[in-house]
Amino acid sequence: MASVAQASDYGCLLTLDPGLRGLGVGIFLHGKLTATDAICADEGEDANQQRAIGTAAAAWFREFRPGRWAAEDTALVFERMVLRRGRLDAVGSIIELSTVSGVVLGLVSAAGVISVEPAAWTGGRSKETVNHVRIRTRLDEAETAVLETALRSCIPRHRIEVLDAVGIGLYALGRL
- Output the CA–CA distances (angstroms, integers) from residue 83 to 19, 33, 35, 89, 124, in the order listed: 15, 30, 30, 10, 15
- Fold entry, domain 4-172: Nucleotidyltransferase; domain 5 (3.30.420)
Which H or E element spans position 74? strand 74-79
pLDDT band for position 86 (50/70/90)? low
pTM: 0.84
pLDDT of residue 119: 84
How many whole angstroms separate alpha carbon 81 and alpha carbon 118? 7
Average pLDDT over every residue of 49-62? 77
* Domains of the chain by residue range: 4-172
- Residue 85 confidence (pLDDT) above 90: no
